[in-house]
């Protein structure tokens, strides 16, 4: 009797990384530079103070979302390809919690873009120098938008971009609606130097725009760097569990409870705060979400049952030379899955050479294999008759704090641990595909 044999293997690979700019692979990321704005590249119908919702003006880009734009040309509007200013305004406003898509902005004035306007009840400012706008942005606690600047030398028509972070004095991080990569720009007065498409551009800044909303306030969590973490941690001394990942003398943090040495918690996240310290996200004895300082704790157990593969089936009774639909779901409760993969090895077991493979970046807590990029990029009909082993994997990165297991990491920063779920489906093909016994 033929039957399918499925085994779930968990493998851990320890990787020590220096992470001043480390970001988890996801549709959302965070600038590594003050004021540490979050950047949401995935589609979102809402906005959150402290997060820049990315708006691409390139219709062929994978992060271009048609619903952010008008459905057709009208008035002065001829398409997103010339609307870098509109996209930049929308991104800047999203940081201060004002939900205005490029479509909203264009339809308000017959397809023309209005900079000098108090969108969403905000106050508009224009400056002759970038320094004032950057100072407002860095010190405004989410009330001032990131500056929108115009670069006349970027192209024949000039170009608008958004300043999302300050790398150092006179050096800034730029978010471009035309090319979504975060880039660097050096500014001296009104002069700007940057690279685009491999060329260094010496330019000027001839416009600086900014919006202010007195009611906007950044949630402190959104200003911290979020690392996936799922483990048991234990306090090494009497220590407070605070309401924010910081001490009680800053950012409105209060002590929820104080626990003695030896108290064990399940940590479902870890944050590097704006002071560079690590805090584990835990649940207090009263059921509230709190934060345990990494310097007063140690990791006592890694929990990796979080990632799993379910619902996948192996080819069974499939005629050789015909296709097979890949199915199943890779899922995680607490952490974003960084990547998924499928590969077919020659012979029985996973040590054979790879006959066919496909992978995909996930960036979410669930990945459905059917109709996915992996499914579309695997052609089972191309396999010759023979013996094969069919494997699917899902990988999530966990992170441990600077004081992992009571020992400071050599990098002086975080330590990353990868958890991998692997489902192995053995089968052979001799005129047809069938499950092995």
pLDDT tens figures, 169-183? 999 999 999 988 899
What is the pLDDT confidence band of residue 309, given thresholds at 50, 70 and 90? confident
Span 221-251, pLDDT tens digits = 877 887 777 888 999 999 999 988 988 766 6
Phi, psi of 108 (to 5 degrees): -75, -20
Mean pLDDT of 329-358: 81
This prediction's pTM: 0.56
Residue 149 pLDDT exceeds 70: yes
Tokens found for residue 82? 């010339």
Q: What is the pLDDT of residue 401?
A: 52
What does the block give as tokens for 331? 């899922």
In this prediction, residue 56 carries a pLDDT of 97
- Over the stretch 191-230, which tens digit does the pLDDT of each residue have? 999 998 889 999 999 999 999 999 987 778 877 887 777 8
Which residues partner with 7 through β-bridges?
Answer: 424
What does the buried/exposed string (b/e) look like for 383-421 if buried means 16 or more CB atoms within 10 Å of the residue's CB?
Answer: beeeebbbbbbbbbbbbbbbbbeeeebeeebbbbbbbbb
Tokens of 433: 């595909």
28-212: CATH topology is: Cathepsin B; Chain A (3.90.70)
- pLDDT greater than 50 at residue 13: no
Mean residue pLDDT across the chain:
81
pLDDT of 355: 86
d(CA 224, CA 409): 20
DSSP annotation of 73 reads -
- Order of strands across the sheet with 191-196? 123-127, 207-212, 148-151, 159-168, 171-175, 183-188, 191-196, 199-204
Residue 211's Cβ-count burial label (10 Å; 0-12, 13-18, 19+) is buried
Per-residue model confidence (pLDDT) at position 61: 92
Domain 231-302 has CATH 3.40.50: no
């Amino acid at each position: 009797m033929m039957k399918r044999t499925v085994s779930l293997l968990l493998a851990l690979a320890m990787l020590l990384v220096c992470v001043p700019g480390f970001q988890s692979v996801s549709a959302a990321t965070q600038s590594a530079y003050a004021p540490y704005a979050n950047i949401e590249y995935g589609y979102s119908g809402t906005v959150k103070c402290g997060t820049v919702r990315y708006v691409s003006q390139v219709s062929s880009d994978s992060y271009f979302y048609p619903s952010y734009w008008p459905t057709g040309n009208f008035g002065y509007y001829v398409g997103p390809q010339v609307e870098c200013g509109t996209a930049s305004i929308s991104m800047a406003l999203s940081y201060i919690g004002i939900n205005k898509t490029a479509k909203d902005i264009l339809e308000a004035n017959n397809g023309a873009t209005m900079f000098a306007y108090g969108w969403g009840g905000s106050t508009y400012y224009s400056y002759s120098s970038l320094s004032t706008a950057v100072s407002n942005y860095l010190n405004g606690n989410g009330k001032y938008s990131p500056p929108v600047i115009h670069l006349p030398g970027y192209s024949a028509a000039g170009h608008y971009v958004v300043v999302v972070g300050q790398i150092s004095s006179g050096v800034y991080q730029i978010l471009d609606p035309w090319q979504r990569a975060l880039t660097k720009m050096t500014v001296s007065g009104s002069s700007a130097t940057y690279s685009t498409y491999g060329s260094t551009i010496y330019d000027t800044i001839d416009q600086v725009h900014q919006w202010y909303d007195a009611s906007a306030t950044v949630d402190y969590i959104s200003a911290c760097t979020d690392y996936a973490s799922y483990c048991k941690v234990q306090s090494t001394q009497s220590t407070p569990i605070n309401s924010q990942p910081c001490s009680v003398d800053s950012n409105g943090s209060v002590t929820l409870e104080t626990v003695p040495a030896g108290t064990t918690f399940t940590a479902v996240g870890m944050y590097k705060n704006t002071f560079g310290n690590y805090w584990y996200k835990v649940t207090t004895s009263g059921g509230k979400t709190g934060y345990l300082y990494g310097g007063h704790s140690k990791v006592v157990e890694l929990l990796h049952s979080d990632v799993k593969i379910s619902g996948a089936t192996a080819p069974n009774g499939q005629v050789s030379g015909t296709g097979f639909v890949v199915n199943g779901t890779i899922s995680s409760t607490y952490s974003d899955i960084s990547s998924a993969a499928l590969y077919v090895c020659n012979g029985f077991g996973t040590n054979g050479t790879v006959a066919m493979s496909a992978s995909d970046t996930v960036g979410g807590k669930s990945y459905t294999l059917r109709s996915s990029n992996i499914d579309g990029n695997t052609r089972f009909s191309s396999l010759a008759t023979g013996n094969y082993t069919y494997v699917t994997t899902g990988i999530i990165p966990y992170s441990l704090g600077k004081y992992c297991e009571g020992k400071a990491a050599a990098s002086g920063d975080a330590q990353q641990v990868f958890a991998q779920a692997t489902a192995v489906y053995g089968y052979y093909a001799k005129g047809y595909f069938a499950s092995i016994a």
